[in-house]
Amino acid sequence: MKLDEKTKDKTVKTYKYPKQAPTLVAVDCIIFGYDGDQLKILLVKRAIEPQKDQWSLMGGFIEAAENLYQAAERILLKNTGLKNVYLEQLKAYGTPDRDPIERTISVAYFALIDINKYKEQINDAYHAEWFLINEAPQLIFDHDKMVDKAKNRIRYKAAFHPILFELLPKKFTIPQLQNLYEQVYNAKIDNRNFIRKVNSSGLLIKLAEKDRFNSKRGAFYYKLDEKKYKAKFQSFINFIPNPENLIS
């Protein structure tokens, strides 16, 4: 006997996989920001036990009607007020004992923002606080591992894609760009060599306007040439120190 569509739908909805223990799925968001001078990470104090009031990434559980990316966007908006930012999936973390309360798999995402652009958008509902990237406090669970993985992923991707420009305003100076690369790769870059590589890459457009605030002489502003970078994406590797040490 054939089942009608309503019966089929009811059968699917009521069926359960036998002898399978439920597992929670969460999303954790690693938010990196640059204020034109310092590279930072945005953290919150955990609101619930275990490890209540300890520093944590932005996190939460996935709701029934949303996919992973939608959950990451919702959690980011709820915890910080941020939306429409660069957001990329990093890795899933599923060690059985990573959460002492219940078996929880967490999918980590990282976000890149220009702090000055989103300064007014960040709310204080969860007491989010910026920390210098190299001075961040110890985090709960395996969140420190997530942050380290995100740093390595960003270093690798920045060698071939313009993702670091998500941290910059639309117009920026060469010193700002060099400073950002130095902090991301935690390495000193020769100034004249960096300027030469940037100018020869053809990836940037020099503007007539100068930054008069941070320099007496004034440094020219530049912007990314979005028409050229897709064709010349391999040029980004020339900007970075020690490309042979890249880790994906």
Print the SS3 string covering the chain.
Answer: CCCCHHHHHHHHHHCCCCCCCCCEEEEEEEEEEECCCCEEEEEEECCCCCCCCCEECEEEECCCCCCHHHHHHHHHHHHHCCCCCEEEEEEEECCCCCCCCCCEEEEEEEEEEEHHHHCCCCCCCCCCEEEECCCCCCCCCCHHHHHHHHHHHHHHHHCCCCHHHHHCCCCEEHHHHHHHHHHHHCCCCCHHHHHHHHHHHCCEEEEEEEECCCCCCCEEEEEECCCCCCCCHHHHHHHCCCHHHCCC
Q: How many domains does one find in the chain?
A: 2
- What local confidence, expressed as pLDDT, does residue 98 receive? 94
Are the C-beta atoms of residues 20 and 101 closer than 8 Å to each other? no
CATH of the domain at 216: 1.10.10.10
70 with 152, same domain: the answer is yes
Is 4 inside any structural domain?
no
Question: Are residue 39 and residue 151 in the same domain, yes or no?
Answer: yes
pLDDT at 14: 72
Which long-range contacts link 200-204 to residues 24+ away (Cβ below 8 Å)?
200/238, 201/232, 201/235, 201/236, 201/238, 201/239, 202/228, 202/232, 202/235, 203/162, 203/228, 203/229, 203/232, 203/235, 203/236
57 and 113 within one domain: yes
For residue 83, pLDDT beyond 70? yes
Query: Residue 18 falls within a domain, yes or no?
Result: no
Q: Are residues 103 and 185 in the same domain?
A: no
pLDDT given for residue 16 in this prediction = 80
Q: For 119-160, how does the pLDDT look when each residue is reduced to its tens digit (9 = 90+)? A: 777 766 667 899 999 999 999 999 999 999 999 999 999 988
Closest of 155, 239, 223, 234 to residue 191, by C-alpha: 239
pTM of the entire predicted model: 0.88
The pLDDT tens digits for 14-57 are 778 888 888 999 999 999 999 999 999 999 988 888 898 899 99
> Is residue 136 domain-shared with residue 186, that is, in the same domain?
no
Residues 64 and 187 both lie in one domain: no
What confidence tier does 75 reach under pLDDT thresholds 50, 70, 90?
very high
pLDDT at 8 over 70: no
Mean pLDDT to the nearest integer, 237-247? 74
Instruction: Name the residue with tokens 């020099």.
Output: 206
Q: Report the mean per-residue pLDDT for the chain.
A: 88
Flag whether 176 is in a domain.
yes
Q: Are residues 62 and 144 in the same domain?
A: yes
Specify the pLDDT at position 226.
82
199 within domain boundaries: yes
Is 57 part of a structural domain of the chain? yes
Confidence band of 238 (pLDDT split at 50, 70, 90): confident
Whether 124 and 175 share a structural domain: no
Separation CA 161–CA 84 (nearest Å): 19
**Residue ending a domain, choose from 158, 183, 208:** 158
Query: Do residue 54 and residue 102 come from a single domain?
Result: yes
Between 56-60, 80-84, 195-199, 230-234, the lowest mean confidence (pLDDT) is in 230-234
Which of 158, 189, 205 is the last residue before a domain boundary?
Answer: 158
CATH at residue 131: 3.90.79.10
d(CA 89, CA 107): 7
Instruction: Look at residues 100, 134, 158 and tell me which one is the last residue of a structural domain.
Output: 158
The answer as to whether 10 is a domain residue is no
Write out the residue range of the structural domain in which residue 224 sits: 170-245
Q: Assess if residue 115 is contained within a domain.
A: yes
* 199 touches 220 (CB < 8 A): no
Q: Are 102 and 138 in the same domain?
A: yes
Residue type, position 8, single letter:
K
Would you say residue 216 has pLDDT above 70?
no
CA 19 – CA 91 distance, rounded (Å) = 28
pLDDT band at 5 (very low <50, low <70, confident <90, very high): low
Report the sign of the C-alpha dihedral through residues 227, 233, 237, 240, in that order: positive
Pairing between strand 58-61 and 204-211?
unpaired
Give the confidence band of 2 by pLDDT, cuts at 50, 70, 90: low
Question: pLDDT-derived band of residue 215, with 50, 70 and 90 as boundaries?
Answer: low
Considering the domain architecture, whether residues 101 and 37 belong to the same structural domain is answered as: yes
Note the pLDDT tens digit of each residue in 94-128.
999 999 999 999 999 999 999 998 877 776 666 78
Asked if residue 6 belongs to a domain, the reply is no
Is residue 129 located within the same domain as residue 210? no
Between 62 and 214, residue with greater pLDDT: 62
